[in-house]
Amino acid sequence: MLHLRLITPAGKTDDVVRLIENTVGTTHLVVLPGAARNPAGDVVMCDVAREAGDELIGALRELDLDKSGSIAVENIDLSLSKRADKAEDEAPGEGADAVLWEHLTDATHEESTLSVTYLAFLVLATMIAACGVVLDNAILIVGAMAVGPEFGPLAGICTAVVQRHPRLALRSLIALLVGFAAAMVVTVGFTWFMDALNLFTKDQLEADRPNTGFVYAPDAFSFVVAVLAGIAGTLSLTSAKSGALVGVAISVTTVPAAANAAVALAYGDMSQTVGSTNQLLLNLMGIVLAGTLTLLLQKWLWRKPR
């Protein structure tokens, strides 16, 4: 169940209440006349089944409530109510399959912002991965994958394509390109610094690396894994099962490939630089393609029970 807290101008309250009452899957309607102060108006609260949430939120936006008032949505972790159970039973479809498009757009917008924190995580993840590829340490590679925040902009691109949101697409693309470019430049400098301390050597990079050699040797499986990870990551976002994102993060080689490309570039090994760059691009393309197709399929399938 979702809990909606609305601030409505007095002149729109009746329309909002009527809309909620006519939406299948809603319950626990509360109206507090004149309770809101900023902006001034009435406070309307209700609970709605997740599978009916997107329809109701979209209808409220058509009333311009997001401009003249406020729409706040919260997840209800526990609701002990026969009315809530009845509302969930009446709403068509299953809550686990429902996509809250407004929430997805807002979440990916935030995750795809080119912020200092985003850059810091991506730079740190790439530097950790650089240590992993030089030492041929799979544990460091997995840790770097988990730290990397690059799935946010990738999900933003997928959402922008499906929702036809060009500004979100541009924002996500900038975060992705600038983020990886900055991370690789810093990692090149980090490699030179570690080399000066005799902690990194070119021989370590070019030695046989059974645990990490895959990061600069893309093949068909690289694309297949990226596609599967893109599907899993998209489903985890749309179904609010964020725990699955950790598994997605450690199943693709975006950050390790970028790190290997940077280290190889620092040592002038163009063969590994090109191979790692191809691995990076292959993974990015696979995730975006799979994520976009998954969202399109979810959008199409959800029309059936509606």
Residue 8 sits in a domain whose CATH number is 3.30.70
**Residue 244 and residue 225 in one domain:** yes
Nearest to 290 by CA among 196, 138, 157: 157
Its domain, for residue 166, covers 103-302
- Residue listed under structure tokens 């021989």: 203
Q: Point out the domain boundary residue: 96, 113, 141.
A: 96
pLDDT exceeds 60 at position 246? no
Same domain, 61 and 193: no
Give the pLDDT confidence score for residue 30 in this predicted structure.
95
Residue labelled with tokens 């080689």: 253
143/163 same-domain check = yes
- Contact (CB, 8 A) for 47 and 1: yes
**Which strand ranges, in their side-by-side order, compose the sheet holding 26-37?**
26-37, 40-48, 2-8, 70-75
- In this predicted structure, the answer to whether residue 207 has a pLDDT above a threshold of 60 is yes
**Is 174 found in the same domain as 192?**
yes
Query: pLDDT band for position 96 (50/70/90)?
Result: low
| Structure confidence at residue 247 (pLDDT) | 54
Q: What pLDDT sits at residue 60?
A: 92
CATH number for 143: 1.20.1080
Closest CA to 133 of 257, 269, 252, 25: 257
Q: Domain boundary at 42, 62, 96, which?
A: 96
Question: Is a pLDDT exceeding 60 seen at residue 32?
Answer: yes
Are residues 264 and 135 both part of a single domain?
Answer: yes
CB atoms within 10 A of CB 198: 7
- CA 250 from chain center: how many Å? 15
Same-domain status, 48 and 109: no
The answer on pLDDT for 191 being more than 80 is: yes
- pLDDT tens profile 154-184: 989 999 998 888 998 999 999 999 999 999 9
pLDDT digits (tens, 9 = 90+) for 122-161: 999 999 999 999 999 989 998 898 888 888 899 899 999 9
Domain boundary among 75, 96, 117: 96
Measured distance CA(92)–CA(291) in Å, rounded: 25
DSSP code of 95? G
Residue 240 is predicted with a pLDDT of 56
Q: Looking at the structure, do residues 87 and 133 belong to the same domain, yes or no? A: no
Residues 139 and 184 in one domain: yes
Query: 74 pairs with which residues across the strands?
Result: 3
Confidence tier at 204 by pLDDT (50, 70, 90): very high
pLDDT exceeds 60 at position 190: yes
For the chain, percent of residues with pLDDT exceeding 90? 51
Residue in 288, 270, 128 with CA at minimum distance from that of residue 212: 128
Check pLDDT > 60 for residue 245.
no
**235 band by pLDDT with thresholds 50, 70 and 90:** confident
Which comes out higher in pLDDT, residue 289 or 106? 289
Are 14 and 88 contained in the same domain? yes
What is the Rg, in whole angstroms, of the alpha carbon atoms belonging to the chain? Answer: 24
Q: If you average pLDDT over every residue of the chain, what do you get?
A: 88
Residues 152 and 278 in one domain: yes
- How many domains, in total, are found in the chain? 2
Cα 245 to Cα 106: distance, rounded to the nearest angstrom: 18
In percent, how much of the chain has pLDDT > 70?
93
- Same domain assignment for residues 145 and 119: yes
pLDDT, mean of residues 90-108: 73
Quick one: average pLDDT of 71-94? 84
Per-residue confidence (pLDDT) for residue 175, from 0 to 100: 94
Calculate mean pLDDT across residues 225-245: 76
Asked if pLDDT for residue 89 goes beyond 80, the answer is yes
In this structure, the answer to whether residues 107 and 224 fall within a common structural domain is yes
